[in-house]
Copies of this chain bind each other. A is one copy, B any other.
Amino acid sequence: MNDTFLKACRGEKVPYTPVWIMRQAGRFLAEYRRIQKRADFMTMCKTPELAAEVTLLPVNLLGVDAAIFFSDILTTVEPMGMELKFFPDKGPLFVNPIRTVADIDRLVVFDPEDKLAFVPQAVKILVKELKNKVPLIGFAGAPFTMAAFMVEGAGSPRYLITKRMLFEEPKAFHKLLDKISRLTTAYMKSQINAGASAVMLFDTCAGQLGPADYTEFNLPYVQKIVKALKPTGVPVIYYANGCGGLAELVGKSGADVIGVDWRISLDQAVKRLGKGISVQGNLEPQVLFASKKKIEERVKDVLDGGSRARGHIFNLGDGILPDTPVENVRFLIDAVHRLSRRR
């Protein structure tokens, strides 16, 4: 088993910097697009064999140092009692968004081993397939990110409906966050029980909160989830998107690894996050559209910054873009391994 990823999570010595890519099982791979022709996105998520097949693509095609379970952060929301629909142009939308205290009260904190059984099933297939290869990362959405989607019903430029609830009905919003957090903890545990070697909380919307609201309506729930997962012994990664103004707060999450977005230098992030934390990131995804010379130059910068943390897992600072040339992704992975071996 290539355990460089797990070692870097724990801050142990590694022969080279491990690398994987957010959304590595995605549309930039021709093989993914081929599978997509047979099955829509949610079918891919909900069919264990398909989810496993897609998860393995980047491991076999690109040589990344970790696999991440193929799924969507929104799969946990339907069994809570919300109806999710995919629209070709708009993406996923909840047709009955959370708008009142009664809506929140109706949400069910269900048993993920039961209602999301396809997840541990897929994880078990993957653990078998990945044996002697690379570790598998499980994941879920972070509480505020989930709440924002559930209240807005979709992504939003300003999250105004969410903000109004948070400002005017803080108790209700806390109740929502609490329900989401309890479910998320159980969901991540079910992935760990099935064999996931690490778990990651995706906080895509973290940067949609100013520091005061991040402190009140996000950080305590992230901390609670991380704490509850500690006894499992698997590393927890917390990806906080848009953390430029929040880095000191993000550093208090308790996670073993912080995923850093690309709008802050990794060097500065390492300083501001605080000690005893590994970092994951943070190449700008757009750089993969540039020349190999430019990619290599930027890989060096990221490796430099990462070398100041107790451990570094190379990744992009955001999900890979669908039109990214695969050739450049292969070059990137090779460059990370080659340049970090020399250190």
Give A residues with C-beta under 8 Å from B.
158-160, 163-164, 167-168, 207, 209-212, 242-246, 248, 262-265, 268, 284-287, 289-291, 294, 298, 301, 317, 321
Q: Write the nearest CB–CB distance from A250 to chain B, whole angstroms.
A: 11
**Distance A159 CA – B301 CA, assembled complex (angstroms):** 22
Question: Is the CB–CB distance between A211 and B168 below 8 Å?
Answer: no
Question: Is the CB–CB distance between B158 and A287 below 8 Å?
Answer: no
Interface centre among A244, A262, A265, A298 (most CB of B within 10 A): A244
Asked whether A263 and B289 contact (CB < 8 A) given A158-B321, A212-B301, A294-B167, the answer is no
List 19 interface pairs A-B (beta carbons < 8 Å), by A numbering.
A158-B286, A158-B321, A163-B284, A164-B289, A167-B286, A167-B287, A167-B289, A167-B290, A167-B291, A167-B294, A168-B290, A210-B263, A210-B265, A211-B264, A212-B301, A242-B263, A245-B245, A245-B263, A245-B264
Question: Is the CB–CB distance between B163 and A286 below 8 Å?
Answer: yes
Asked whether A294 and B168 contact (CB < 8 A) given A265-B211, A321-B160, the answer is yes
**Distance A265 CA – B167 CA, assembled complex (angstroms):** 18
Question: Is the CB–CB distance between A164 and B244 below 8 Å?
Answer: no
**Distance A291 CA – B165 CA, assembled complex (angstroms):** 11
Q: Write the nearest CB–CB distance from A141 to chain B, whole angstroms.
A: 20
Question: Is the CB–CB distance between A263 and B244 below 8 Å?
Answer: yes
List 18 extra interface pairs beyond A163-B287, A242-B244, CB under 8 A: A158-B285, A158-B321, A160-B286, A160-B321, A163-B286, A163-B290, A164-B289, A164-B290, A167-B294, A168-B291, A207-B263, A210-B265, A211-B268, A212-B265, A212-B298, A244-B244, A245-B263, A245-B268
**Distance A209 CA – B317 CA, assembled complex (angstroms):** 13
